[in-house]
Chain A
Amino acid sequence: MSERKYIEFKGVTKAFSGKPVLRGMDLAIDKGEVMFIIGTSGVGKSVTIKHLIGLLRIDAGEIWFDGNRVDQLPERSLAPLRKRIGMVFQSSTLFDSMTLAENVALPLRKHGKLGHRAALEEARKRLAQVYMADDADRYPAELSDGMRKRAAIARTLALSPDVVLFDEPTTGLDPVSARRIDRLIRELAEQLGVTAIVVSHDPPSIFGIADRVAFLYQGVVHVVATPAELRASQDPIVQQFIGGKSSGPMETPGF
């Protein structure tokens, strides 16, 4: 029972300036699985995962993580949660004014309570793990998108989180870099038992590394399935999405 409800969204609703985005969404995620959240742009995929770590507040519903309710925690009490659940943002979000080593050292200093020098040393080791030891003293602006993404992942993994949220990790990357990121996510799950929640539109990632896929449509989880089940699904909306067809039963507001 507890295994099944490692992370749970119950009846989550969220509206932005009057416009509903999530309308009573339910989703349960197991420990150690790679769960993909897919859906059209603006359907609330990123919004969903940001609720889990208190970056956004839900309007109604409940969110549970490892036996504790987390949606009502005040900002100050969120630090332990954010230590256990890391997030890799869509645009890498490295801090421009810091070198890569300083970027990776920041969470180590704040969450990990390491001193300045100790954190920088640890940061260099973490960068070496993603093959970026030589770039530790460079600034984010000097690097390619793929390298920035790797450094951002190193920063998130620096605290050895139990859960990692990836917001469109492969968007904007060349296919080779994208598949490397996929492999990294898979390795995290298999070797370290990290639970990964990945927001993505990228079919090779979805069908390549997902354990299960949650398809978000009109503010609720339309279907949860394994990639194989999803491919075999007769649901016309799912078919339209994974087939990438411009016409079909799917309603996409504003487009």
Chain B
Amino acid sequence: MMFLRTRIEAIGDAVLGFFRAAVELWRLYIATIAGVARGFSRRRDRRGRPRGEVARQLYSIGNRSLVFIIVTLGFIGMVMTYQACLQLGRVTGDYSQVGSQFLRLIISDFGPTLTAMMLATRVGAGIAAEIGSMKVTEQIDALRMSGVLPIDYLIVPRFLACLIMTLVLAILGSVIMYAAGGLTAQYSFGVNPNSFYDLSFIRPRHVVVFVVKALAYGAAIPIVAGFCGLRARGSSEGVGWATTAAVIGGSFAVILLDFIISASALWLTGGDL
């Protein structure tokens, strides 16, 4: 009996802990939005964040992810087109629709989602490790003692930079993916580039879904990573935990948001997406 009871209590604790963390995560999100608003309304030197920090973060999150995104999305585009053409060749042998359908898939889903998954690992881990090590070495406490709100100082610049850069990199990644797919189809299966690079099936609603997804992911990644970093405890082990949790949590958030936004878009358009 006792064994059963402790087990049930452990499950209850875990569930409570999860909900508490969810509430804290939500509060961090609200506090970050408030921090962004404060940043816009105040004089430059009164802002909570250091000078030029957003630019530094744009560089660190965006430029430094460039090669990573180009290489991974390029290869994924090649593999996906190759597989699609292979299967189509076995069934119908008609490649005329491959390019246009692939583009629809990229714009309404794979482009922003795969880019964000990659960023959740690279950027999320970086943010969590940096903020986590500041937490365990008491630098966050030192910031608070210096009269700085850690959210304004650390989270807000990363949030703004990630919001912008996820959109930019998603556009770039989608172009690379599409181009790599087109080259693969042309050289491996002899598909005519004019039929592959056919943009006529794209509707404005696809572009809206693309932008909404990219912005939602761009907001979620730094918040989840910053949250994990701020919760780091102890020493280097705590930073390791925070980094792992940030990568898992960030990837999970991307998948969850993908589902929610896709389902909402389908519902809003009455299934005509």
Let me know if A89 and B147 touch, CB within 8 A.
Answer: no
Contact status of A86 and B145, CB under 8 A, knowing A109-B45, A115-B45, A116-B45: yes
CB of B142 within 8 A of CB of A89, answer yes
Q: What residues of chain A lie closer than 8 Å to B51, measured between beta carbons? A: 116
- For chain B, the count of residues having a C-beta within 8 Å of the partner chain is 15
Q: List 15 A-B contacts (CB under 8 A).
A: A53-B145, A55-B145, A75-B144, A79-B147, A82-B144, A82-B145, A83-B147, A89-B141, A89-B142, A91-B137, A93-B138, A93-B141, A95-B142, A106-B146, A110-B146
Contact B138 A91 (CB under 8 A): yes
Q: Digit string of B33-77 for contact with A (CB within 8 Å is 1, else 0)?
A: 000000000000100001100000000000000000000000000
Task: Indicate whether A50 reaches chain B with its CB closer than 8 angstroms.
Answer: yes
Q: Is the CB of B148 within 8 A of A106?
A: yes
> Residues on A close to B: CB < 8 A?
50, 53, 55, 75, 78-79, 82-83, 86-87, 89-91, 93, 95, 97-98, 106-107, 109-111, 115-116, 155-156
For A55, the chain B residues whose CB sits under 8 A away are 141, 144-145
B236 within 8 A of A: no
15 additional contacts, CB 8 Å, given A106-B148, A111-B146?
Answer: A55-B141, A55-B144, A75-B149, A82-B145, A83-B147, A87-B145, A89-B138, A89-B142, A93-B139, A93-B142, A95-B143, A97-B50, A106-B146, A110-B147, A116-B45
Interface flags for B103-145 (1: CB within 8 Å of A; 0: not) read 0000000000000000000000000000000000111011111
When distances are taken between beta carbons in the complex, the residues of chain A under 8 Å from B139 are: 93, 95
CA distance A110 to B143 in the complex (A): 10
| Contact status A93-B147, CB under 8 Å | no
Whether A110 touches B144, Cβ cut-off 8 Å, given contacts A91-B138, A93-B137, is no
**Distance between A21 CB and nearest chain B CB, rounded to angstroms:** 14
| Chain A residues closer than 8 Å to B142, beta-carbon distance | 87, 89, 93, 95
Most B CB contacts (10 A, CB to CB) among A78, A93, A107, A115 go to A93
| List of A residues within 8 angstroms of B149 by Cβ | 75
- The residue among B137, B147, B149 with the most chain A CB atoms within 10 A of its own CB is B147
CB-CB under 8 A from B45, the residues of chain A are 109, 115-116
Q: Tell me how far the C-beta of B143 lies from the nearest C-beta in chain A, rounded to whole angstroms.
A: 8
* B contact set with A: CB distance below 8 Å: 45, 50-51, 137-139, 141-149
Q: How many Å from the CB of B55 to the closest CB on chain A? A: 13
Q: Are A107 and B145 in contact, with the CB atoms below 8 A?
A: yes
A83 contacts which chain B residues (CB < 8 A)? 147
| A-B pairs, 6 with minimum CB distance | A110-B147, A93-B142, A107-B146, A111-B147, A89-B138, A106-B146
Q: How many A-B residue pairs have CB under 8 A?
A: 49
Residue of B nearest to A53 (CB): B145
The smallest C-beta distance from A79 to any residue of chain B, in angstroms, reads 5
Contact residue among B137, B141, B143 (Cβ-Cβ distance under 8 Å from A50):
B141
Q: What are the residues of chain B within 8 A of A86 when measuring CB–CB?
A: 145
Across the interface, name the chain A residue whose C-beta is closest to B133.
A96
* Inter-chain contacts of A110 with B (CB < 8 A): 146-148
C-alpha spacing A97/B60, complex, angstroms: 14
A91 to B137, CA, bound (A): 7
State the CA gap A198–B198 with chains docked (Å).
Answer: 73
**Nearest Cβ on chain B to A168's Cβ, whole angstroms:** 11
* A87 to B51 CA separation, bound complex (whole angstroms): 25
Per the bound structure, the CA–CA distance linking A62 and B51 in Å amounts to 39
A161 to B71, alpha carbons, bound, how many Å? 54
Tell me, in angstroms, the Cα distance from A50 to B147 when the chains sit together: 15
Residue of B nearest to A106 (CB): B146
In the complex, which residue of chain B has the Cβ closest to the Cβ of A158? B146
**Chain B proximity of A119: nearest CB distance (Å):** 9
Query: Chain B residues near A82 (CB, 8 Å)?
Result: 144-145, 147
B148: chain A residues at CB < 8 Å are: 106, 110
- Distance in angstroms between the alpha carbons of A111 and B145 in the assembled complex: 9
Per the bound structure, the CA–CA distance linking A212 and B154 in Å amounts to: 40
In Å, the complex CA distance between A31 and B111 comes to 64
Instruction: Tell me which residues across on chain B come within 8 A of A107, comparing CB atoms.
Output: 145-147
Complex Cα spacing A155 to B144, Å = 13
When C-beta atoms are compared, the residue in chain B nearest to A165 turns out to be B145
Query: With A and B bound together, what is the CA distance between A89 and B50 in angstroms?
Result: 22
Residue of B50, B138, B142, B149 contacting most chain A CB atoms (<10 Å): B142
Considering the chains assembled together, what is the distance between the CA atoms of A48 and B79 in angstroms? Answer: 59
Q: Within 8 Å CB of A106, what residues of B?
A: 146, 148
Residues of B within 8 A of A93 (CB): 137-139, 141-142
Of the listed residues A53, A78, A79, A110, the one surrounded by the most CB atoms of chain B closer than 10 A to its CB is A110
**Residue picked from B45, B144, B146, B147, most chain A C-beta under 10 Å:** B146
**Nearest chain B CB to A110 CB, angstrom units:** 3
Name the distance in Å between A14's Cβ and chain B's nearest Cβ.
15
